[in-house]
Amino acid sequence: MTTTAVLHAPDISCGHCKAHIEGDLTGEPGIEKVEVDVETKDVHVTFDEQGTDLDAVQAKLAEIGYPVG
Ligand SMILES: [Cu+2]
């Protein structure tokens, strides 16, 4: 089943962050769509629950420098 979640990552500050996150998360196993809102510092992620889970997405965000908080 496909789910969309919104994760708040306070370290998002500009278009570079947006490109970095969208570029790194898109194509990760189970992740179907990633959209970063720089204004709200939110990451909208659509993923297949068979392929990944929210913990894994959060871990990946932390790994690339944008911990969820
Ligand atoms: Cu930035």
* Domains detected in the chain: 2-63 (3.30.70.100)
Ligand 1 centroid to Cα of residue 11, in Å, is 8
pLDDT at 64: 97
Residues 27-34: contacts with CB under 8 Å, at least 24 apart: 28/52, 28/57, 28/60, 30/56, 31/57, 32/2, 33/4
What's the chain's average pLDDT? 97
Helix (H, G, I), strand (E, B) or coil at 47: strand
Other Cβ atoms less than 10 A from the Cβ of 45: the count is: 28
How is residue 48 annotated by DSSP? E
pLDDT at 34: 98
Ligand 1 centroid to Cα of residue 13, in Å, is 4
Give every residue of the chain whose pLDDT is below 70, as ranges.
none
d(CA 2, CA 35) in angstroms, rounded, equals 15
